[in-house]
Amino acid sequence: MSVAALRELQALQGIDEIVLGALVPRARLIDLKAGDCLMRKGEPNVRVCIVISGLLRVELDAGIPPLAHIGRGETVGELSLLAGSLTTATVAAEEPTRLLALDEKTFWWLSDSSHAFSTGLLVRLAKRMRSNNEAVQANIVLRQQFEQVALNDELTGLRNRRWLDQTLPRIMQRHLHAREPLCIAVMDVDHFKSVNDRFGHPAGDAALAQVGRLVRGNLRPSDFAARTGGEEFVLVFPQTGLPGAINAAERLREAIASAPFGHDGQALPRITASIGIAALERSAEYAELLARADAALYRAKHAGRNRTEWIAGES
């Protein structure tokens, strides 16, 4: 490798020719075939490599798209070498690639010998860290979007059973610790099977979507709602005693009973809902609280539907 060839590499630009001349015998060339691995995730790294020709790819895990590509004149390995840590990604040749390898001793000699190399190294590290941070932030946003999808009911836009199972126990514990009242309600759309049977599942889905809109429009901003399956919903009333929960549930029940439902230009029969409410007790568990609300719902169904029943907590 000649001094003239070294001078053309971006990572070595600005370095004195005397230093470049001394670098030639210290560095060594590495040739990789396409697919050859230069560094493996989780293994120690003791060198910095400069790409002379070809292209490297950086992979966090096998089977997913590369995190980045490293081309001619760019360096790889400096972060793990400087930190004295294991490599955090696998680096492999995307195509036949030639590299100039600097072992740890040569790397530090070059850093001490050339202010231009040290300055360029700092600039490259800053750019790489910013790029890594942007990639991390993008991954965080993407993960949050996936989590939102995983915790939402696609049909109604409300939360789903998974969200309820994860979140309601924590809400209950906070209220128990603060000695604040909490009520939940289980709501079931009355005779919903007949809507599906008479008008088809698309009409039933449209009706459930409208119920979801009515739920969002009639609960308070502090309340929560989840569709837990089929035509069943769970309503959560934080910092709310039984009288307040009854009022909120009745307001929603009456809104559903008075709303016109339709699908594809066709009117649907009047739709109503039955609601069962349970107040949080000092010793209540998540499953027990749901079971008590279910028992109140059964009482509402047995009493003729389109009504609200409740079970009080301990005094």
231 assigned to active site: yes
pLDDT tens per residue, range 229-239: 899 999 999 99
CATH 1.10.220.110 is held by the domain 3-144 = no
Question: Homologous superfamily of 161-311 in CATH?
Answer: Reverse transcriptase/Diguanylate cyclase domain (3.30.70.270)
Q: What is the DSSP string of 87-146?
A: -SSEEEESSSEEEEEEEHHHHHHHHHH-HHHHHHHHHHHHHHHHHHHHHHHHHHHHHHHH
Confidence of residue 271 (pLDDT cuts 50, 70, 90): very high
Task: Judge whether residue 35 has pLDDT over 50.
Answer: yes
CB 247 within 8 A of CB 253: no
What are the structure tokens assigned to 207, written together?
A: 């009706």
210 vs 213: CA distance, rounded Å: 5
195 vs 201: CA distance, rounded Å: 8
256 vs 272: CA distance, rounded Å: 6
Per-residue pLDDT, averaged over 92-114, amounts to 90
Active-site annotation holder among 231, 250, 285, 288? 231
pTM over 0.75: no
> Which amino acid, residue 230?
G
pLDDT value, residue 315: 43
Give the orientation angle of helix 242-258 with respect to helix 201-218, to 10 degrees: 140
Q: Where do the structural domains in the chain lie, given as residue ranges?
A: 3-144, 161-311
